[in-house]
Amino acid sequence: MTCNACQTPSKPVDSLTVKALLTEGALSRFDPADYRFCPRADCDVVYFAQHGPTFSKWDLRVPVWQKEPRGRRKVCYCFGENEGDIAAEIDRTGESLAANRVRTHMEAGRCACEVRNPRGVCCLGDVIAAVERMRQVHLKTAVRP
């Protein structure tokens, strides 16, 4: 299924995630439905259902990293890993241990991605990708005179 607004392919997301992240006003418009998550950065829609309401990034309690400008976006909603801190760690030490920190928390049973992450899934892949993006940025800026 594609997003109603931008026609981008979407992923299913549990209604519990949607309800947990909606503002009070948006929650009053919630109806049970099969919700989908739109990942497209330039689309304001976050959640939609074929036979239900649509919710934009302004309807959520948290910024959705996929919809925010690059640089300081939070990519781990449980443990606060974000692009700015990852970049600073890489600048300082040459690497980031963000993915290892998240893995340690996951192994200890502390993760709540199904509810806290707007996509409703584990953020570890997003953290790994963010580390690689920030590493590439670091390499590009480090080789400039």
Query: In this predicted model, what pLDDT tens digit does every residue of 78-113 receive, in sequence order?
Result: 999 999 999 999 999 999 999 999 999 999 999 999
Q: Is residue 1 part of a domain?
A: no
Q: If phi over 0 gives left and psi between -120 and 50 gives alpha, with beta otherwise, what is residue 83?
A: alpha
Cβ–Cβ under 8 Å, residues 120 and 13: yes
Residue 26 lies in a domain: yes
45-91 pLDDT, tens digit each: 999 999 899 999 999 999 999 999 988 899 999 999 999 999 999 99
Calpha distance 30→123 (Å, rounded) = 25
Instruction: Based on the fold, state whether residues 71 and 109 are members of the same structural domain.
Output: yes
Q: What are phi and psi of 56, to 5 degrees?
A: -95, 175
DSSP state of 80: -
CB count, 10 Å around CB of 85?
16
Range of the domain at 76: 66-142
